[in-house]
Amino acid sequence: MTCPTAPNIVFVMTDQHRPDFMAGEGFGLDTMPFLDSLAAGGVRFRRAYTTAPACVPARTSLLTGRWPSTHRVRQNSTPQGVVRGDDLLDVLGGAGYQRFYAGKTHMYRGRKEFFEAFSGPYGHESGPDETPEQQEFAAWLRSVDHGPTTEPTPFPVELQFAHRIVSDAIGQIDARDPDRPFFSWVSMPEPHNPYQAPEPYFSMFGEDEVPARACGPEAAERKGGAYKWLRELVEEKRPGYDRLWRRYRATYCGMLRLIDDQLRRLVDHLKAQDVWRDTLLIFLADHGDYAGDYGLQRKGAGMPEVLARIPMVVHGCGVEPRDNRRDFVSLADILPTLCEVIGRPIPLGVQGRSLWQMLSGADYPAAEFADIITERGYGGLPYPDDARPELHFPYEGTRYDELNTVTQSGFSRMLRHDRYKLYQHVDGTGELYDVVADPMELDDRWNRPDMRRVQTDLQQRLHRWSLRLTDDLPDGVYDPKLPPHNWHRS
């Protein structure tokens, strides 16, 4: 399917979504059949990674094409500290696109400042709650205290945020100027906690059907550090919470099917409006979820595969279908990719690489996509696992935030290459795993004699990325030699 010069672009973004919980990734339950069908007709990136397993840093990377250490938003509380050049909305606006937004924001852009139509903001416990029923639903969500629930949600599907956000997006698309291309960002807060679902989704996947988890609380104890600290904190606040892990995973699966049905509803509407054939759809998430592994829920400690790897599916005009199992790609690659799709220059300061050549079936250098990095931490040194510093929530009571002073302390970079994963931490320590043989990263091979050659190679690759992420901004009198497609290797 050929693409017009300025195709319509639709982002469907989820929050805290693990890619391995889909049948197309080998999961034992068919949670997202429609997304799997889009992947079969487009490109599924099986080695797609976030730039940081935290909402605001990751979404800032999506907008800017930059890693957190460069755009400077390294925690959820600092979006206005962003350092950037032109971002995605600047590029699309400059190309004449109508820009629509519906859903969760969690980013530095203002509510209506750069969007011709804006619906939201939606959070995880409330939205633009205008009707009595919507207000009652929001109050119920807050009472859940970020779940998981043990009973079906006592409100209909139509009140769920995913349904309302898709309805908002459909309304925006229907009201568009048909003579201009549009960009629609559909940002769903789910399957992020609170973990809740109405019928039929709550009972769609039984607790006894859910595949066994890879590891439990003993793994958090074994890994130590922030894993152990977070596990002990939540157990202190919610004794026995891990007994609900099967219910938690079953509900998580139901939430994925709810999202999938709303994705299908959106695409069906695009087809009915006769705009689907000229549309490029990108489905992705900001980061993953423990989903009970390590005896943990949500996110927070470390950058294991369950948090760092994300779903990324691209479907539509100009895309040559392919199941991409080889190339390591990033959330930061989306902006430069879209620049090339619409024929605009990649802005100075963008660090991601264009994927359009691999998406469209053209030649590209395999070496450019042989590795990728993810970052974590706001700075300083990491707190020990027995630390009790002041937090932004009390130690007493059930409320907690997994992104906090301890779990986000220090700074680390993770590199993925081939079957291996290397961590380098600010305190001089490191970790090395064979994620094929050891997917939960429990057997650390750092500094083992038999891994010396592998470790040296990975450290050299990480060093090269560190040099690559040295910021080209601000612009000055010297003109840097910018590589085509932002590729640094051939």
Cβ-proximal residues to 330 (8 Å cutoff; 6+ apart), any chain: 48, 49, 50, 51, 61, 352, 372
Bridge-partner residues for 314, per DSSP?
43, 282
CA separation for the pair 32, 46 (Å, rounded): 16
Q: What is the pLDDT of residues 338-352, one digit of tens each?
A: 999 999 999 999 999
**CA 308 from chain center: how many Å?**
8
**Cβ contact 214:278 at 8 Å:** no
The predicted pLDDT at position 201 comes to: 98
Q: Specify the pTM.
A: 0.97
The predicted pLDDT at position 490 comes to: 84
Say how many C-beta atoms besides its own lie within 10 A of residue 431's C-beta: 18
Tell me what the pLDDT averaged over the chain comes to.
Answer: 97
DSSP helix/strand/coil, 221: helix
What is the residue-wise DSSP string for 260-311?
Answer: HHHHHHHHHHHHHTT-GGGEEEEEEES----TTGGG--S--SS--HHHHB--
Query: Which token pair is 430?
Result: 């490191």
Cβ-proximal residues to 295 (8 Å cutoff; 6+ apart), any chain: 216, 217, 218, 219, 220, 231, 242, 245
Q: What is the pLDDT of residues 423-437, one digit of tens each?
A: 999 999 999 999 999
Bridge-partner residues for 421, per DSSP?
416, 433
Q: What is the pLDDT of residues 13-57, one digit of tens each?
A: 999 999 999 999 999 999 999 999 999 999 999 999 999 999 999
Give burial (CB, 10 Å; 0-12/13-18/19+) of 174: exposed
- Kindly indicate the confidence band of residue 389, based on its pLDDT and cuts at 50, 70 and 90: very high
- Kindly indicate the confidence band of residue 113, based on its pLDDT and cuts at 50, 70 and 90: low
The class that CATH gives domain 8-372 is alpha beta
- Kindly indicate the confidence band of residue 112, based on its pLDDT and cuts at 50, 70 and 90: low
The predicted pLDDT at position 5 comes to: 81
The predicted pLDDT at position 376 comes to: 98
159 DSSP assignment? G
- Residue 442 pLDDT > 70: yes
In the structure, how many helices (H) and strands (E) does the chain have?
Answer: 13, 14
- Residue 1 pLDDT > 70: no
- Residue 114 pLDDT > 80: no
Provide mean pLDDT across the span 66-89. Answer: 97
- Residue 467 pLDDT > 70: yes
Provide mean pLDDT across the span 250-264. Answer: 98
Instruction: Give percent of the chain above pLDDT 90.
Output: 96
Provide mean pLDDT across the span 454-472. Answer: 97
**CA 104 from chain center: how many Å?**
13
The predicted pLDDT at position 4 comes to: 73
Q: What is the pLDDT of residues 170-216, one digit of tens each?
A: 999 999 999 999 999 999 999 999 999 999 999 999 999 999 999 99
- Residue 110 pLDDT > 80: no
Lowest mean pLDDT among 34-38, 108-112, 175-179, 459-463: 108-112
CA separation for the pair 435, 304 (Å, rounded): 10
